Amino acid sequence: MRVAITGAAGFLGSHLADRFLADGHEVIGYDNFLTGQPENLAHLARERRFDFVEHDVSEPFTVTGALGGVLHFASPASPPDYQRFPLETLRVGSLGTSNSLDIARAAGARFLLASTSEVYGDPAVHPQPETYWGYVNSVGERSMYDEAKRFAEATTMAYHRSCGVDTRIVRIFNTYGPRMRPHDGRVVSNFIVQALQGQPLTVYGNGQQTRSFCYVTDLIDGIYRLFLGRRVEPTNMGNPGEFTMLELAALVLELTGSNSTLEHRSLPADDPRQRKPDITTARTVLGWEPKVPLRDGLRRTIEYFRTVVTDGR
Ligand code: NAD
Ligand code: UDP
């Protein structure tokens, strides 16, 4: 099969490309490097089954030749990134999604949308099942991302219902691992890079807010299964292990052996207080659940960031 992946130079998009290539498929990647890095694809430079097109997918595009799938991963994902690029984020969630769906429709290809746990906002239901409709501030400081993804989900379902496109939606919960940008501002990359550089770990608020962290190989395995499976309705994917940011900071300090201190900063507006996926659907429908505990995933991610930080990136 030949698949198109938007956001292929990003953290998740590049791992997804690797996964399809490892299973013998052909991949054509699209990215405009808004938040991605060419280094994430450097290892594919000589791979004949991989093509890359530098393109802003919020602008229309066409793909020549047969296509079995379109996986739409293009979008800033880190809060500082999407807050720095609010209009780009809204455009890629709206226009980028319909452009990618148009490609799938024209080719008769399956489409998969990378959605997010942010569609649940600051959730009043805990853990979050797919049936929860969310609690989102439509004009708040995270709204450009949350509403873009909610709109992207609605667009995907409209193409499915009215144009017959075969669609999938994955709601991804916080995922971490090698190829995150060291300064993308997300908590895992921040804490690890700060610990490795002997700088204080920046804990926002009192650090009692929770997140559930999934290691990248687990997530990619789940997305691959979802893509090949039959379920059209949104499916949560993440690791249900739930940690406070203070617990995460302590674990990063332990695993890096760092003497860094903690420095509390103000809590960003609308920062969700708690988040944990209910993955009953993925377990039952796909037989999927994460395997890598946080401690092991962090060890592997720390090794990656050690090299990156030594390289001076
Ligand atoms: P990332 O920032 O590393 O990757 C996003 C990629 O999209 C980047 O390479 C960027 O350059 C590219 N991009 C952005 N706008 C584009 C445009 N208009 N045209 C072409 N390329 C564009 O982020 P990530 O963590 O890899 O996230 C990938 C996808 O997964 C995003 O859609 C994100 O919303 C979703 N997601 C990720 C997480 C997570 O924890 N990593 C959680 C929920 C959802
Ligand atoms: N956070 C933190 N220190 C940082 C970066 C983030 O304490 O240096 C907190 C942030 O306020 C949030 C949690 O960590 O409560 C997860 O933040 P991240 O940006 O990784 O993801 P998201 O908020 O999108 O879940």
Q: Quote the CA–CA distance of 238 and 59 in Å, as a whole number.
A: 31
The pLDDT value recorded for residue 310 is 76
- Residue 5 Cβ inside 6 Å of ligand 1? The answer reads no
Q: Among all ligands shown, which has an atom nearest to the Cα of 202?
A: 2
Reported as a single tens digit per residue, the pLDDT across 65-77 is 999 999 999 999 9
Reported as a single tens digit per residue, the pLDDT across 166-209 is 999 999 999 999 999 999 999 999 999 999 999 999 999 999 99
187 CA distance to ligand 2 middle (Å):
5
Residue nearest to atom 27 of ligand 1 (CA): 77
93 CA distance to ligand 2 middle (Å):
22
Start-to-end CA span in the chain (Å): 35
26 near 44, Cβ under 8 Å? no
Q: Quote the CA–CA distance of 23 and 112 in Å, as a whole number.
A: 18
Q: Which 3 state secondary structure label does DSSP give 55?
A: coil
Q: Quote the CA–CA distance of 277 and 116 in Å, as a whole number.
A: 11
The H-assigned helical ranges of 42-201 are 79-84, 86-107, 143-163, 187-196
Is pLDDT at 312 greater than 70 in this prediction? no
Q: Among all ligands shown, which has an atom nearest to the Cα of 8?
A: 1
Please report, as a single letter, which amino acid is at residue 147: E
The pLDDT value recorded for residue 313 is 67
300 near 178, Cβ under 8 Å? yes
- Which domains, and CATH codes, for the chain? 2-175+214-237 (3.40.50.720), 177-211+241-276+292-307 (3.90.25.10)
Residue nearest to atom 10 of ligand 2 (CA): 204
112 near 171, Cβ under 8 Å? no
- Residue 32 Cβ inside 6 Å of ligand 1? The answer reads yes
Q: Quote the CA–CA distance of 107 and 268 in Å, as a whole number.
A: 42
Determine how many CB atoms are found less than 10 A away from the CB of residue 23.
10
Pocket test of ligand 2: the residue of 11, 115, 149, 204 to mutate, having most ligand atoms within 8 Å of its CB, is: 204
SS3 content of the chain, % helix, strand, coil (to 5): 40, 20, 40
Residue nearest to atom 3 of ligand 2 (CA): 203
- Residue 189 Cβ inside 6 Å of ligand 2? The answer reads no
- Residue 258 Cβ inside 6 Å of ligand 2? The answer reads no
Helices vs. strands in the chain: H and E counts, helices first: 9, 13
Reported as a single tens digit per residue, the pLDDT across 87-135 is 999 999 999 999 999 999 999 999 999 999 999 999 999 999 999 999 9
* Active centre residues (catalytic): 145
- Residue 207 Cβ inside 6 Å of ligand 1? The answer reads no
Mean pLDDT of 12-34: 98
The pLDDT > 90 percentage for the chain reads 98
